Amino acid sequence: MPPSREHIRIYIDAPLSPGAQIALSREQAHYLRNVMRRSAGGTIGLFNGRDGEWRASLTELGKQHALATLDGQIQAQRGTPDLWLICALIKRARLETIAEKAAELGVREIHPVITEYTNAPRMNTDRLAAITIEAAEQCGLVSIPKLYEPEKLHALLDKWPPERRVLFCDEAGAGGAALARLQAAATPQAPWAVLIGPEGGFSPAERDRLLAMPQTLAVSLGPRILRADTAAIAALGLWQSVCGDWNNAPVAIDRTAV
């Protein structure tokens, strides 16, 4: 495949300000030089999740190191809607899909949970965090979803914020059609969470507890049982359409000199 001339965006955990010189990691230097075939003098975008996105000139690009000098901000810092994804731990590949898609779909926080029927009790936090960063680099985000360590669903519910609504995706059909229910309940300014269960679904005790919470809106995602990753993507898209930022105008980004 020929090298792409697309706008390259790189996440870096360093303060970004005019004229700052940023040392990139060895892996980032390798990526820029050998994968994207860039050379010194080229430009890239840098963001850190706090200071927006900046146009940066590659002042040095060697085999092992790269130095970028910030020219100016091309995108102001902006957050994503106040949406959490609560998802039960599932097998590695599908959980990675969920992490990537949650970032792309503008989730602010990802809370993996262990439910009564969870049969994949571990996750690789570093790998999932790297996946959310790659997704943010690829899709123009300037914020990275906050990824939490797994905890028990019941423990999370014990400290549930009273103002946060829960879109409880319930394959057992406790709720009605998701679009109509969400439109009827739409409280655009409210914080929300989308809740997706494990491969084994929710236990009766979990379902009873969730249905008893005043914050819960139980919904069906149709007559088919979806895989957890499919259900997460469908529910997040639905929420963004009704309550989130899919109706907002696209953000203008000044990439004229990138």
The rounded distance, in Å, linking the Cα atoms of 109 and 191 is: 11
- Residue 208 or residue 254: which is nearer to ligand SAM going by CB? 208
In the complex, minimum distance from the CB of residue 176 to ligand SAM, in angstroms, rounded to a whole number: 11
Q: Are 190 and 84 in contact (CB under 8 A)?
A: no
Q: Are 113 and 220 in contact (CB under 8 A)?
A: no
- Residue 151 or residue 245: which is nearer to ligand SAM going by CB? 151
Q: Are 137 and 9 in contact (CB under 8 A)?
A: yes
- Residue 68 or residue 243: which is nearer to ligand SAM going by CB? 243
The rounded distance, in Å, linking the Cα atoms of 88 and 169 is: 12
- Residue 190 or residue 225: which is nearer to ligand SAM going by CB? 225
In the complex, minimum distance from the CB of residue 232 to ligand SAM, in angstroms, rounded to a whole number: 8
In the complex, minimum distance from the CB of residue 215 to ligand SAM, in angstroms, rounded to a whole number: 16
In the complex, minimum distance from the CB of residue 180 to ligand SAM, in angstroms, rounded to a whole number: 14
In the complex, minimum distance from the CB of residue 217 to ligand SAM, in angstroms, rounded to a whole number: 12
Closest CA to 221 of 172, 153, 184: 172
Q: Spell out the residues 6+ positions from residue 7 whose beta carbon is closer than 8 angstroms to its own.
A: 44, 45, 255, 258
In the complex, the residues that contact ligand SAM under the rule CB under 6 A are 169-171, 196-197, 199-202, 220-222, 224-228, 231
In the complex, minimum distance from the CB of residue 115 to ligand SAM, in angstroms, rounded to a whole number: 9
- Residue 40 or residue 213: which is nearer to ligand SAM going by CB? 213
- Residue 36 or residue 174: which is nearer to ligand SAM going by CB? 174
Q: Which helix (H) or strand (E) holds 138?
A: helix 125-139
Closest CA to 119 of 220, 203, 235: 203
Q: Spell out the residues 6+ positions from residue 98 whose beta carbon is closer than 8 angstroms to its own.
A: 85, 87, 90, 110, 196, 228, 229, 232, 233
Closest CA to 102 of 233, 227, 193, 199: 233
In the complex, minimum distance from the CB of residue 88 to ligand SAM, in angstroms, rounded to a whole number: 7
The rounded distance, in Å, linking the Cα atoms of 167 and 148 is: 19
- Residue 7 or residue 207: which is nearer to ligand SAM going by CB? 207
Closest CA to 235 of 192, 206, 190: 192
